Chains A and B, each alone.
Chain A
Amino acid sequence: MELNAFENSLLERADSARDRLPAWAEQLATAGAARFAQSGLPHRRLEAWKYTDLKSRLEAKRPEGAQGSRAAFHLGGALEVILTKEGMHTSAPLGEGVRIFPLNDALTKEPALLQKHMGTNKALQQDALTGLNTALMQDGFVLHLAQGVTLNRPIVLRVEVGEGEAPSFARNLIVLEEGASAVLIEDWAAPQSAPQLRHAVTEIMLADKASLAHVRVQDEKLEAAHLSLVAADLEAGAKYHQFALNVGAGLTRSETHVHLGGEGAHAELGGSFLLNGLQHCDTTTVVTHAVPNCTCREVFRGVMADRSRGVFQGKIAVAPHAQKTDAKMETRALLLSDRAEMDAKPELEIYADDVKCAHGATIGTLDEQSVFYLQSRGIPLPVARRMLIGAFVEDALDVVSDVDLQAALRAVIDQRLSRLEGVAG
């Protein structure tokens, strides 16, 4: 594979960055760089990137502009953790059994924890971009909850460590030991000097009966490309809820892999993408039912205005003998403009017979009759449209069970909707 100048520059950076790593991590990094060198950036001839030609899109210039919603995410009562170049700042002390580190500290201080988990997720092992991330990982955090520990309030995490406009590679690790439980919000609202390309890999390990509610709010500036890959491994009885709200960045890839590896594990994925201008947002999920009696639910809602393009690829895979699997996936998208586009590929791959699997996908626009009905009751057109679009997006928020958190997310969604072309009227 012939690499282009950008790809080569990334590899060069990886070469020079490697010696800062401890020996065990350097090994991983070398293997990762080699994997990237083999295939380079993903492109549309790879089935998983069919609708998002990353290689050519990263070369193309993205329009300048502020971030999508310009409404900062705010959750009262949360514990705030901010990672900066200088270190980590927490708004209040962490409780007993809760540990959080900047990645760079963890690399030296917690080698055992990192070695045990980093790069073990199968979904990551073949991925070239993750290889590059491993070679260049610098930003990011490590969160560990000891057995049985329940975080009594949500953590909101902000990473503000990019080196100017250079590509940033964040690597996060979240480990919840048996029975532990947490609510974690990653807030990726870009500060002024944010990187042009951000690639964040988050590895999540949930031991038996552990439970994580995970929210990602992405509101980067429009010149930026935000690529994220979350890989969660669930053991028996573990629960993982994820809600991804993508409103910013010119180019977004929001990819999640969930491996249901212990009986009784349950995953719930939801998300909204609200796009404008030339934004391109790709949501890709793969949920693998590796053992019997696991369940998953997915609900996604997309709103595309102007010339934006939404992509949803969702795959539910049921391994042989993963009987009694119960999996449902639902995607709906609204196109608000003649030039907007939505591509969906909801996929089932099933190798066991005693399973209940279903998916549904619809693409359309606002129901004119509903708009008319509201208008006939005296509601002005723009308000009517806003109401209906808001209600449409609302379904996906059900994944979030905390009412305050729901309200905080709804505030960002409302702000964003009011700035979409053709919503406010």
Chain B
Amino acid sequence: MNGNVMTTVEENRQDVEQLAKREYEFGFVTDIESDRAPKGLSEDIVRFISAKKNEPEWMLEWRLEAYRRWLKMPKPDWAKLNIPEIDFQDLYYYSAPKSQADGPKSLDEVDPELLATYEKLGIPLSEQKILAGVVAVDAVFDSVSVVTTFKAKLAEAGVIFCPISEALQSHPELVKKYLGTVVPQSDNYYAALNSAVFSDGSFVYVPKGVRCPMELSTYFRINERNTGQFERTLIIAEEGAYVSYLEGCTAPQRDENQLHAAVVELVAHESAEIKYSTVQNWYPGNAEGEGGIYNFVTKRGDCREANAKISWTQVETGSAITWKYPSCILRGDNSVGEFYSIAITNNYQQADTGTKMIHLGRNTTSRIIAKGISAGKSQSTYRGLVSSHAKATGARNFTQCDSLLIGDQCGAHTVPYIESHTPSAVIEHEATTSKISEDQLFYCQQRGLSEEEAVALIVNGFCKDVLQQLPMEFAVEAQKLVGISLEGSVG
């Protein structure tokens, strides 16, 4: 029985009603004084950020090297995206809420305004709420991590979950050992930029044999005007460890575009498993295509040793432009990579997203389920690479890409690259395109559903294979978003 699905459709309707003229629900601005670096990007700004964080010398050098490489790199232009020129000198690269400069030690020290913001976002930030939800949260507000809850309980299990800036102080050897080993500084233009100027993000370390006792969660929010957000997340699961990590994103509504360029690195050692789930709901811009977040993200996981498993699940409903390919390097024998994706675009949104599954080890398997929904005047592209190298004997991939079009003004595209050097590998790819049929809508409406409820129900059905991969708390939110994102797309 799908109790949660039913609840959600109900909740959907309430939302639809409440938000009949709703634009972007999370588009409020928190009024907090912030501590900002001067506008623009230079070696001095990189030094400024590093100094602010009181980083070790090697970290500064690492950033500077990334910056120097970035200066020489071209912007990627192969995606099916129309990206306006971005003036990288017209952005702020560091912005911390001022009252947080010294860093809070406990929830009591956190600025009540910030807490109120998270309340509005619906994040269960206060300890009591979390106890009920059993979720530990690291909240990243513009560029710095505000508070990480549940540290004590995690510490008991030996799990480190803290802002990466803090990890650089408390566990520099771990950060140094792993940072940039999955996504090198010069991996691509946006990753290089991130490597130079990242200001915070989450750090997770799960020791050998430990099953992380709760879901870990980070909420990202861009608040400051003209501020780029460059968070960097690093998750390491030692032999036999397990961790499930959730990431949520929102941003206030603004006329101008804002830049978000994150890097996420996952390392899974022998028999370790990392499950990474994202619900991305950055401000998508208004119905005329003004404003919205540019979301240029590099996410990659490394199944470094045998029997490791990395699973990406994403629900992408926000952002004006999404450029994102969470990938798996299947290095260890028998390792497993998964990518489950829902990408919804409406109005003038553009999304070019997918995954790479690189089969290097023997008997590695990967599975890709991608559901794209395009509405309005939006464009949605699935782009993926499945490659199996000569030593990946017995590798197996299955890919299913389905596109659903709503209206005749949008586009849905599928661009898979399949490269096999391995005779004993089996790679299978299937793709389909369809629309919501008028018959389906009529049938639902005849049973009493409004047109928007009918669309939400049918689209949720279309996405079911992906939605059921999400942890329960996220699944409910994601189902709501599916309906809300498509408001006004029919009729």
Contact = CB atoms under 8 A, between A and B. Distances in A.
A–B contact with Cβ pairs below 8 Å: the answer is yes
Interface of A: 47, 320-321, 323, 333, 335-365
Interface in B373-426: 390, 403, 405-426
A358 B431 contact: yes
A352 B409 CA distance: 7
A350 B406 CA distance: 12
A323 B430 contact: no
Nearest to B78: A47
Contacts of A358: 430-433
B440 interface: no
A356 B431 CA distance: 11
Contacts of B432: 357-358
Nearest to A318: B433
A344 B418 contact: yes
Given A336-B423, A346-B418, 13 more contacts: A335-B422, A340-B423, A348-B403, A348-B433, A351-B411, A353-B405, A354-B435, A357-B433, A358-B430, A359-B414, A363-B418, A363-B426, A365-B424
B425 A364 contact: yes
Nearest to B391: A338
A361 B413 contact: no
Top 9 closest A-B pairs, CB basis? Answer: A353-B405, A335-B423, A364-B426, A348-B414, A357-B433, A344-B418, A363-B420, A365-B423, A361-B429
8 contacts: A335-B420, A346-B429, A350-B405, A353-B406, A355-B433, A357-B433, A358-B432, A360-B429
**Which has the most chain A C-beta neighbours within 10 Å: B406, B407, B421?**
B421
A323 B426 CA distance: 35
A351 B379 CA distance: 9
Interface string B291-308: 000000000000000000
Contacts of A351: 410-411
A335 B411 CA distance: 35
B290 to A, nearest CB: 23
A206 B435 CA distance: 31
Given A357-B433, A362-B427, A345 B415 contact: yes
A337 B413 CA distance: 33
B30 interface: no
B434 interface: yes
Given A338-B390, A341-B421, A347 B408 contact: no
Contacts of A353: 405-408, 410, 435
Contact of B418 (A320, A340, A361): A361
Contacts of B405: 350, 352-353, 355
A351 B435 CA distance: 12
B420 A356 contact: no
A242 B390 CA distance: 34
B428 interface: yes
A323 B408 contact: yes
Contacts of A349: 411, 413
A355 B410 CA distance: 13
A279 B424 CA distance: 21
A350 B411 CA distance: 5
Interface string B425-469: 111111111110000000000000000000000000000000000
Contacts of A365: 423-424, 426
Contact of A343 (B78, B410, B412, B419): B419
Given A350-B411, A353-B406, A361-B429, A338 B423 contact: yes
Given A364-B427, A365-B424, A347 B433 contact: no
A387 B452 CA distance: 55
Contacts of A346: 414, 416, 418, 429, 431
A353 B414 CA distance: 15
A350 B431 CA distance: 12
Contacts of B411: 349-351
Contact of B408 (A337, A352, A356): A352
Contacts of B425: 335, 363-364
Contacts of B430: 358-360
Contacts of A364: 423, 425-428
B414 A347 contact: yes
B444 to A, nearest CB: 18
A337 B423 contact: yes
A261 B315 CA distance: 38
Contacts of B403: 348, 350
B412 A350 contact: yes
Contacts of B390: 338-339
A352 B432 CA distance: 14
A46 to B, nearest CB: 11
A47 B403 CA distance: 23
Contacts of B435: 353-355
A67 B407 CA distance: 52
Contacts of B434: 356
B431 A348 contact: yes
A321 B420 CA distance: 36
Nearest to B375: A353
A353 B412 CA distance: 9
A286 to B, nearest CB: 13
A361 to B, nearest CB: 4
A291 to B, nearest CB: 14
A347 B427 contact: no
B423 A320 contact: no
B419 A341 contact: yes
Nearest to A366: B423
Nearest to B380: A350
A325 to B, nearest CB: 9
Contacts of B424: 365
Contacts of A320: 408-409
A343 B417 contact: yes
A343 B422 CA distance: 11
A343 B433 contact: no
Contacts of A47: 78
Contacts of B414: 346-348, 359
Contacts of A342: 418-420
A348 B416 CA distance: 9
Given A352-B408, A353-B435, A360-B430, A345 B416 contact: yes
Contact of B433 (A321, A336, A339, A350): A350
B249 to A, nearest CB: 28
A365 B420 CA distance: 11
B423 A347 contact: no
A232 B426 CA distance: 34
